[in-house]
Amino acid sequence: MCGIVGYIGNRDAFPILIKGLQRLEYRGYDSAGVAMISPEGNLNVYKKKGKVSDLLDSCKDKDKSGNIGIGHTRWATHGEPNDVNSHPHYSQTKDLVIIHNGIIENYASIKEGLQKRGHTFLSETDTEVLIHLIEDIRKHEPEMKLGHAVMAALNQVNGAYAIVILDKNDRDTLIAAKKGSPMVIGVGKDEYFIASDASPIVEYTKNVVYIEDEHVAIIRRGEELKIRTIRDKEITPYVQELEMELEAIEKGGYDHFMLKEIYEQPRSIFDSMRGRLNSETGHLKMGGIEEHEGKFKNAKRIIVIACGTSWHAGMVAEYLFEEYARIPVEVEYASEFRYRNPIIYPDDIVIAISQSGETADTLAAIELAKTKGATIFGVCNVVGSSIARATHAGSYTHAGPEIGVASTKAFTAQVTVLTLMALHVAKVKGAIAESRYRQLLYEMESIPAKVEEVLKLNDSIKKIAAEYKDAANALYLGRGYSFPVALEGALKLKEISYIHAEGYPAAEMKHGPIALIDEAMPVFVIATKGPNYEKVVSNIQEVKARKGRIIAIVTAGDVEVKKMAEHVIEIPETDESLVPLVSVIPWQLLSYHIAVMRGCNVDQPRNLAKSVTVE
Ligand code: M6R
């Protein structure tokens, strides 16, 4: 969580920092702050509880000059969101300021030691402790350069950090370092940009250096970028070209990123299949799997680890791998798995799914599985992310940047890639009939067009949203492949509209949730044609008998459910196993419209952040 930015060069730093923070606001928006050194040598720090726009209002009449600066947008961990706990934080003398993304786990004991040495603290944050420690180290060794003091301090801390430090007495240097939290440095002509991801950098330069864990960057005006480990070993920076276009991170005429990303799905699903699937030849090319084909072929078990929406994609994968490839699958919440002393065998395949590739729990679960000798396969969206780098092999989802906090196109891209993986493994194992395999490849190719069809239903879905926008609760039901979609529908609604919603396997309803049903309860059901259809129709009848209100996703042409439901949303027919790719779209649109109608901040829902880099 938290977004960090930094700039050193010949331009005015403030507008670059602000624009960068606005791009990173999806990472956290409890407070924002900046620090610049003016040409007269003043260190000006402005910080404010709330959004970047609040910060802008609060400092509009202040001196914001300077061509070196740092900025931060916060998702609070230590200390409530208020002005004082906002970053940047000062050292004891106020000569140094720091911004930080991550958590210093042993900050309390360090703080105690510093307090005994006369340090006083303004905030409740772990970050302030770190900058005091750095200054304290320098105080005892006045000749030590700031970069070395930072290294010395980082050798004393446990936890995760991406930090940038500014020294009032040195207008030509920024010191940055990272461990466990992402950081990228843009290398321009006589200027450098620092950010949590490349989105604040892409419009200035395409040359970037991804900073590795426990590396410290010494960024000096007019000099080459220098990188050292925290143990003071020199590293040669690896400059690579950014594969990101500016348009991909802008709203492109849509009111919200979430809506844009929902509409991008025909394209993003296509992109996640591009170069991998050829239905004419029956060929599937999944580079990562080919490298470990033997392991997949002989795997007795697949363990999926993920969080949130990615976990729901993992649930779909469970059905896919079991049906196509006949491999047992366990789907685990990474946050539970990592602390459970799980039984993992060296011949297990672990699939880690993550849009951001930075989720702390997923990363920790991967490290745990690695120690047991399992093969770890990543399904990530963000290229070069920590999870992508921590895994033995993987397949990127190629969905493009997802900025809305509510995951939409990442889900369908993940399910697409997981479907291709399951098919590939099934084929290699000989677990699937050739005719079925071919039929599924053809059907996969038709999914983008089918999603396009569903998007045309936006206006009617908006009308349904208007009818249910004031509901206090909602139930989402589905069976088989549609059960994970029910979970995903409920998550979408609750996270952006703050309506309490639960997803349930339709048949499980009678074991408890049915008690909730009355005339005020909207029940969103997936009742598409397939092996479970009749069963779901019975479940719908059970809801109707208790006066619940049914909104059903059905296969085009359905008549039976239409007779019972308040509303039906007709989606094009597809193979049962591919229905999630199509049926999730109406639930995404419905949540979006309900949230907008309720006046919620769709792209930045309260208390959330896009990538959860803390446990
Ligand atoms: O980046 P990841 O896929 O690892 O993120 C996992 C979850 O934090 C994420 O899916 C979250 O649940 C979204 N807000 C859901 O819309």
Protein residue with least CA distance to atom 11, ligand 1? 308
**Has residue 332 got a pLDDT over 90?**
yes
SS3 (DSSP) at 7: strand
Measured in angstroms, how far is the CA atom of residue 423 from the centroid of ligand 1?
Answer: 25
In the chain, % of residues over pLDDT 90? 84
pLDDT tens by residue, 231-242: 999 999 999 998
User: 356 CB less than 6 Å from ligand 1?
Assistant: yes
Superfamily of domain 3-248: Aminohydrolase, N-terminal nucleophile (Ntn) domain (3.60.20.10)
pLDDT tens string 260-307: 999 999 999 999 999 999 988 998 998 888 888 889 989 999 999 999
Q: Is 354 in the pocket of ligand 1 (CB under 6 A)?
A: yes
pLDDT recorded at residue 608: 86
Confidence of residue 487 (pLDDT cuts 50, 70, 90): very high
Q: Work out the mean pLDDT of the chain and round it to a whole number.
A: 94
Q: Is 381 in the pocket of ligand 1 (CB under 6 A)?
A: no
Torsion on CA atoms 481, 485, 487, 489, rounded to nearest 10: -160
Q: Can you give the pLDDT at residue 374?
A: 94
Task: Pick the atom of ligand 1 nearest to 612's CA.
Answer: 8
Q: Domain 457-615 is in which class?
A: alpha beta
At residue 181, the pLDDT reads: 86
Spatial distance between the Cα atoms of 347 and 60, rounded to a whole number of angstroms: 60
The predicted pLDDT at position 490 comes to: 98
The average pLDDT across 124-130 equals 95
Peptide bond before residue 88 is cis, with ω within 30 degrees of 0: yes
Return the DSSP state at 510.
Answer: G
pLDDT surpasses 90 at 615: no
Give the per-residue pLDDT at 610.
79
Contact (CB, 8 A) for 568 and 555: no
pLDDT on residue 377: 97
Q: What percent of the chain has pLDDT over 70?
A: 100
Local confidence band at 216 (pLDDT 50, 70, 90 cut-offs):
very high
Is residue 274 classed as helix, strand or coil in its secondary structure? coil
Mutate which of 27, 391, 407 for ligand 1? The one with the most ligand atoms within 8 Å of its CB, which is: 407
**How large is the average pLDDT for residues 206-228?**
96
Q: Is 335 in the pocket of ligand 1 (CB under 6 A)?
A: no
Sign, Cα dihedral of 314, 318, 320, 325:
positive
| Strand bridging mode 500-505 / 473-478 | parallel
> Is 77's pLDDT higher than 80?
no
- The DSSP 8-state label assigned to residue 168 in this structure reads T
Spans of all domains in the chain: 3-248, 251-451, 457-615
Query: pTM of the predicted model, to two decimals?
Result: 0.81
Contact between 128 and 153 (Cβ < 8 Å):
no
Taking the C-alpha atoms of residue 72 and residue 86, their distance in angstroms, rounded to an integer, is 8
Indicate the top mutation candidate among 356, 382, 391, 604 to test ligand 1's pocket, ranked by most ligand atoms within 8 A of CB.
356
Question: Do the first three CATH levels of 3-248 and 251-451 match, i.e. the same topology?
Answer: no
pLDDT exceeds cutoff 90 at 190:
yes
Ligand 1 centroid from CA 359, angstroms = 8
210 pLDDT exceeds 80?
A: yes
DSSP 436-462: HHHHHHHHHHHHHHHHHHHHTTHHHHH
- Residue 397 CA, ligand 1 centroid: distance in Å: 14
The region of weakest confidence among 145-159, 371-385, 442-456, 488-502 is: 371-385
Among 98, 235, 118, 114, which residue's Cα sits nearest to residue 161?
98
Q: Kindly give, in sequence order, each residue whose CB lies less than 8 Å from that of residue 516, ignoring residues fewer than 6 positions away.
A: 473, 475
Confirm or reject: Cβ of 307 under 6 Å from ligand 1: yes
Q: pLDDT tens-digit profile of 519-563? A: 999 999 999 999 999 999 999 999 999 999 999 999 999 999 999
pLDDT at residue 134, as a whole number = 98
DSSP 578-602: GHHHHHHHHHHHHHHHHHHHTT--S
At residue 36, the pLDDT reads 98
In this prediction, residue 80 carries a pLDDT of 84
Please give the CATH topology (third level) of the domain spanning 251-451: Rossmann fold (3.40.50)
Distance CA 111, CA 117 (A): 10
